[in-house]
Structure 1
């Protein structure tokens, strides 16, 4: 069985509060995009995992795909599989690629073993993997609060819009990103703004991480400015960076981004 875990973007990202458990409360929109990894699983005599494509740092035993298997195996005693992850989505880029891999692994294992898990049950397992993981179970636009696991419906569709994602090959750690942010309650109704016209977003729908990171990494600021110069309706850094996206009515010339990792396509 093969599946294609996709990335997501943050449209607006407010860091609203430092929690007693060390995490932060946020407010954001998660929106899926079709920049995808590839994940294959086949039945096997022993559990194994390998990856190709972009090199994944750290111990492979800590990969979220394997953690997803162990979570389900602990409860359902599922048979072993051979996993092969071909990594395409940039790592540490604010796109949720690792979270998507883990969530899609849960969905694959549910299907392969006919566990019959509900959306809510799969989201519960995904929450144990990480804050962003539950989003990828239903994989549709949502308004997000809490530490990224509390979802509210959002009447937002960007279907047919053209999106460009530019990653300048900079890895920004979560620790670094949060070190430049002072949690502050939202000064605007972000959810209401997101359901207004996209033409109202520029200057109003803000990613709080940009305040410090655009100063620390001028290349990210330059990419954002260039997307606006090319006619973006809205442009922003996604997540804690370093990827920047621009939303357009039509395709644009990408020839001046050849030194970066770039993905473009239509939004669903």
Structure 2
């Protein structure tokens, strides 16, 4: 059985508080994209000579971790604590770059939970799958339904949100990822939490032409100071005709929303790029 874990972008991202446990509370709107990985699972033969219950093989863009430490395997092991799962082979083809703010690893984990539920008829339901997913990562729960959502808490509290979603279907998205890896620790190290003047949930309900002046990502300012080339990427997206451009999550990928096709690969030669309908 095969599925296609999708990347997400953040339409606005504001860090509003630091909790006593060290985690940060945020406000953001998650939006799914057509950039995907590919994940396949197959039941393992009883005689197959491996010691692991989930035998994962990863292809495509390299992932900087041992395969048994991957969130796909952690998702399997988590569900196996409560459900009687057979041993499986899992094949993951990576097209979503890591340390990009696109949620690729979280998406892979959530889609693994969805695959296990469907393939082995666990009948968990979305709410239960979201609870499992949230135990694997702050934004994992979003990918159980992968529908536009307003997220609070550390990213795990999700509410459906309205916006110009039907209108956005006529737009295009370009994603650019430079060869810069930004760890979550580095991204948060320079953040000063504060409430935004206007909530991103309210801003995305407005016409997209207004987003440039009002919709913000709090990670941009400190990371632009550390990596000036990131600010240049955002500016170049606007020069290419983007109606709105922003860093996704804690970076280092950027997205631009366009009303026409643009040759992103030419404009950002040497970087990872993706372009498709939004």
Task: List, as ranges, runs of 4+ consecutive aligned residues in structure 1 with deviation greater than 3 Å.
Answer: none
State how far apart, in whole Å, the 1-side matches of 2:107 and 2:274 are.
17
Aligned to 1:146: 153
What is residue 223 of structure 2 aligned with on the other side?
213
**CA RMSD of the aligned region, Å?**
1.0
SS where residue 50 of structure 1 aligns?
Answer: strand
Query: Structure 2: how far apart are the matches of 1:149 and 1:217?
Result: 29
Is 1:133 matched up with 2:140? Answer: yes
Are the counterparts in 1 of residues 181 and 252 from structure 2 also a CA contact under 8 Å?
Answer: yes
Residue-pair matches, total: 267
Asked if the contact 2:11–2:215 (Cα under 8 Å) also holds between the matched residues in 1, the reply is yes
Q: Which residue of 2 aligns with 1:165?
A: 175
Residue pairs, 1:63-212, within 5 angstroms: 63-156=70-163, 157=165, 158-212=168-222
Is the CA contact 2:11–2:200 (under 8 Å) kept in the aligned structure 1? no
Counterparts of 1:47 and 1:215, CA distance in 2 = 42
Partners of 1:186 and 1:155 in 2: CA distance: 20
Unaligned runs of 5+ in 1: none
Deviation at 1:192, TM superposition (A): 1.1
CA distance in 2, matches of 1:77, 1:261: 40
State the match for 1:264 in structure 2. 275
Aligned to 1:34: 34
Q: Residue 251 of structure 1: which of 251, 258, 261 is its match?
A: 261
> Partners in 2 of 1:47 and 1:230 — Cα distance?
44
Q: Tell me by how many angstroms 1:59 deviates.
A: 2.5
Structure 2 gaps of 5+ residues are: 47-52
Post-superposition offset of 1:199? 0.8
| In 1: Cα distance, 2:211 partner to 2:240 partner | 17
**Alpha-carbon distance, 1:137 to partner:** 0.4
SS of alignment partner, residue 25 of structure 1: strand
Post-superposition offset of 1:88: 1.2
d(CA) in 1 for partners of 2:201 and 2:73?
Answer: 35
TM-score w.r.t. length of structure 1: 0.97
Equivalent position of 1:56 in the other structure: 63
Shift in Å, 1:169:
1.8
Could you say what secondary structure the match of 2:20 adopts? coil
Partner SS state of residue 81, structure 2: helix
